[in-house]
Amino acid sequence: MLPGYVHNAGLPNEDALMKAGLIAALVLFLCAPPLHAETAYTRGPSLHGDTLVFTAEGDLWRVPLAGGTAQRLTTNAALETDATLSPDGRQIAFVASYDASPEVYVMALAGGAPKRLSFDGASVHVVGWTPAGEVLYSSTAVVGPGSSVVLRAVDPATLARRSLPFADANQASFDQASGMIFFTRFGLHILGDHVRGYHGGAMAQIWRGAADGSAEATRLLPDLDASVRRPMWWNGRLYHLSDESGSDNLWSMAADGSDRRALTTHSEFDVIDPQLQDGRIVYQYGADIRVFDIAAGTDRVVPIDIVSDFEQRRTRWLEKPLDYLEDLALSKDGSRVALTARGAVTLAATDARRRIDVAVPAGARARAAVPSPDGKWVYAISDIGGSEEIWRFPADGSGPGEALTRDSDARRWHLFPSPDGKSLAFDDKKQRLFVLDLATRALRQLDQGRFGVDDAYASVRWSPDSRNLAV
């Protein structure tokens, strides 16, 4: 036997030690938490030159248009939105709730204390800047019918304020060369409503008129059965949003509404909060910010990372959890109650189990949960899969649920299980009352409301024999 063999028996040689060290280092590297910036949920972009300002984590940030790691500009706990860079790129107008109600503020892009510009005590949104250097914003602080809105312009230096003479205008863009203004009237966006495919009387409209109000304004595209809004004038054309394809997309047209062209064809998400500067339109799409180059016809994502402690992700103790309660429903025997809060469903009981979390998948939300009469199931309306349907979950929290409907064409409001557990009544936003057979999944419409309200059947009651309904 070779001497060297006996000497090294049972002991690692130098190569083995090196290999083991490399493997250990690799394992530590792969298992270690990332030390780099993370992708953010970004929204509300504004552009000047190659500087992009946006909202993330409720604060304002800046980043080069090419992308990269963003720099945080604000740190207040209040939400800051509607960032709009000034024409010279030195200031940012935005909305924040520093003093309880949301108001308009301005601050230097280079940093500094924000200055309050509005004192409306109402819903306000920054729209842009006027050619005179005023901050333009919409406000519901106006005398008039419900949901009335006015456009106001405020001088950031003197706080001098004026109202624009256009009824129900809430967005605007100026053509300095012709002295014209293009503005939006109505629209669900002023109510914070994000419903798709709306074709009612409150559809957003774009109008054109003299900026000084000296002539009567005229409506563009009066025959278009779609919402058109967010006018942006540049280089002889009016860029805007339209949902005629089923989703909000970017379009352009001539000043008189002719020669319309679709610029984007997104379908999964809507184009949100576009702003145009020097031939480029930045906008939110999903969780990303994209930029559309008008001359080149290109559309791309701006890759943005943020460095943060992500305080919002930390588990928090809720001192008053019932403040978040959305729905509650007692079981037939009164021994359990289904509690719905923040999209999750919990069964609270008087027996030894005390509390059972219903298995609503992560990333989905549930509402209007009710226990079944036999205590085996929990029925709820959930957006699992992307659209709101009626689901059934095991009441013991043991497994995933199953969809009971797949034909939703309107928002459903309430669920009413029959006492015998064989049927489930529910109503929807179209004022219809249905009964679902839980064995066959057959769906039958019982009634069509004519009450002039969305939630027409809030107090449905079954008879004890499950044969009749009182509405």
pLDDT band at 365 (very low <50, low <70, confident <90, very high): very high
Which residues contact residue 144 at a Cβ distance below 8 angstroms, ignoring those fewer than 6 apart? Answer: none
CATH of the domain at 321: 2.130.10.10
Percent of the chain scoring above 90 in pLDDT: 63
In a 13 Å sphere around the CA of 118, the CA atoms on its Cβ side amount to: 32
Mean pLDDT is lowest, of 47-56, 102-111, 329-338, 411-420, for 329-338
Residues 291 and 367 in one domain: no
By residue count, the chain amounts to 471
Highest mean pLDDT among 24-28, 163-167, 323-327: 163-167
Residues 80 and 60 in one domain: yes
Q: Estimate to the nearest angstrom the gap between the alpha carbon of 35 and the chain centroid.
A: 29
Is 393 a member of any domain?
Answer: yes
Is 199 a member of any domain?
Answer: yes
Asked whether the predicted pLDDT for residue 331 surpasses 60, the reply is yes
pLDDT at position 252 is 98
Residues 113 and 243 in one domain: yes
Is 384 a member of any domain?
Answer: yes
Is 18 a member of any domain?
Answer: no
Written as six digits, the tokens of 402 are: 């199953």
pLDDT band at 194 (very low <50, low <70, confident <90, very high): confident
Residues 81 and 151 in one domain: yes
Sheet arrangement for strand 271-277: 271-277, 280-285, 288-293, 298-302
Other C-beta atoms closer than 10 Å to the C-beta of 361 total: 12
Residues 295 and 345 in one domain: no
Which class for 97: exposed (0-12), middle (13-18), buried (19 or more C-beta within 10 A)?
A: middle
pLDDT band at 408 (very low <50, low <70, confident <90, very high): confident
What is the chain's mean pLDDT, rounded? 89
Residues 290 and 392 in one domain: no
Question: What is the sign, positive or negative, of the torsion defined by CA atoms of 46, 51, 55, 56?
Answer: positive
Residues 171 and 243 in one domain: yes
Residues 365 and 236 in one domain: no
Count up the domains in the chain and report the number. Answer: 2
pLDDT band at 28 (very low <50, low <70, confident <90, very high): very low
Consecutive H or E run containing 257: none
Written as six digits, the tokens of 210 are: 């003299």
Asked whether the predicted pLDDT for residue 213 surpasses 70, the reply is yes
Q: Contacts from 417-423 at CB under 8 Å and sequence distance 24+? A: 417/370, 417/371, 417/372, 417/373, 417/379, 418/373, 418/462, 418/466, 419/332, 419/373, 419/462, 419/464, 419/465, 419/466, 420/373, 420/465, 420/466, 421/372, 421/373, 421/374, 422/466, 423/466
Asked whether the predicted pLDDT for residue 165 surpasses 80, the reply is yes
pLDDT band at 287 (very low <50, low <70, confident <90, very high): very high
Q: Which domain range does residue 259 map to?
A: 38-311
Last residue of a domain, one of 311, 337, 352: 311
Asked whether the predicted pLDDT for residue 156 surpasses 50, the reply is yes
Residues 303 and 323 in one domain: no
CATH of the domain at 295: 2.120.10.60
Residues 419 and 286 in one domain: no
Q: Higher-confidence residue: 6 or 396?
A: 396
Q: How far apart (Å, rounded) are the C-alpha atoms in residues 112 and 134?
A: 19
pLDDT at position 370 is 92
Q: 391: closest CA among 383, 400, 381, 406? A: 381
pLDDT at position 37 is 65
pTM of the predicted protein model: 0.74
Residues 269 and 342 in one domain: no
pLDDT band at 39 (very low <50, low <70, confident <90, very high): confident
Is 23 a member of any domain?
Answer: no
Last residue of a domain, one of 288, 311, 334: 311
Last residue of a domain, one of 259, 287, 311: 311
Residues 89 and 174 in one domain: yes
Q: What's the mean pLDDT in 332-337?
A: 87
Query: Beta 68-69 vs 304-306: how paired, if at all?
Result: parallel
Is 257 a member of any domain?
Answer: yes
Q: What's the mean pLDDT in 402-415?
A: 89
Is 8 a member of any domain?
Answer: no
pLDDT at position 120 is 96
Is 164 a member of any domain?
Answer: yes
